[in-house]
Amino acid sequence: MAAARSLWSGVLTCPLSADKPSIIVSRREINDGETVTLTCTVPIDYRGGDCRLFRERSRIPFRLMTATDYLCDFQLTSQELLGRRPVGSKIFFKCDYHLQQYTSVSSDVSAVTVRGSSPSPGLSVSRRFLSPDDSVEVTCSPPLRSVSTCHFYRDEIHVAEGPCRRNLTGKQLSIWEESTVLLPVNMTCRYDPHKHLHIRSEPSNHNLLFVVDASRVSSPVDCKVSVDDDQLAVFGDGSWTFAGEDGPTVTLRLTNSGPTSDETCGEVQSETRPA
């Protein structure tokens, strides 16, 4: 180490390839208002020199730090990182270090995305019950004139993106789920207001649907499902009966009374339809 420090007793003018710094990023994506740590690693004993952080293609550093060891930690808020760029941008940066007349080669370029958010859209559905082969029209309504893309979710699982009004089949809504007689589907949507910026809306209101596969039973089934009061108000009182191609039916009753001793659809054994 003493030998390394002695190099700085004179003036260095030739960069050494072995002296190339590197960047460590605490998070590749942050939300607007959050903080990220960018660490410039110094490969030699460089105490007393300056670590310099550059944004985009600028040749002028936007942050300087005197090196006291082998790591220079730059803690930046989202606004400091963005500078004049809008929220939703992906910011590229690099670093080097400088002492007297010596400047190291630059590190590799790295990036941090500053994500933004927009107000929630509204979500509406054309029906509440469907079979695996049926489809439901879902409409995501952003509070903007035009948006880039809409995203649809089932219980936080992304199931579709593209136009804000589209048809989704029961099979699409059942993705990653085992075959079952009754699958509750809690749907939400979001939208991207800009094509070239990383901005996504807050989630929409929830809509409860049921994918009913009567072909999974070999005899009639009468079952009860407990739902929240607000969802029960949407469905209303009553019962719904669904028939498979081979005759057996599934009758569904919704309640807010919680689990009961009655048979529930979740307890029905799924069966493969006879060939």
Q: For residue 48, which phi and psi values (nearest 5 degrees)? A: 100, -20
How confident is the model over 232-254, as a mean pLDDT? 77
**Burial bucket for residue 10 (CB in 10 Å: 0-12, 13-18, 19+):** exposed
| Other CB atoms within 10 Å distance of the CB of residue 249 | 14
Q: How far apart are CA 216 and CA 184, in angstroms?
A: 16
Least confident interval from 66-80, 177-191, 215-229: 215-229
3-state secondary structure of 24: strand
Quick check: 260 pLDDT over 80?
no
Quick check: 74 pLDDT over 70?
yes
Enter the pTM of the model: 0.72
User: What's 265's DSSP letter?
Assistant: G
Q: Write down the mean pLDDT value for the chain.
A: 83
How confident is the model over 50-63, as a mean pLDDT? 92
Instruction: Name all domains of the chain by residue range, CATH numbers in brackets.
Output: 2-115 (2.60.40.10), 119-265 (2.60.40.10)
**Burial bucket for residue 28 (CB in 10 Å: 0-12, 13-18, 19+):** exposed
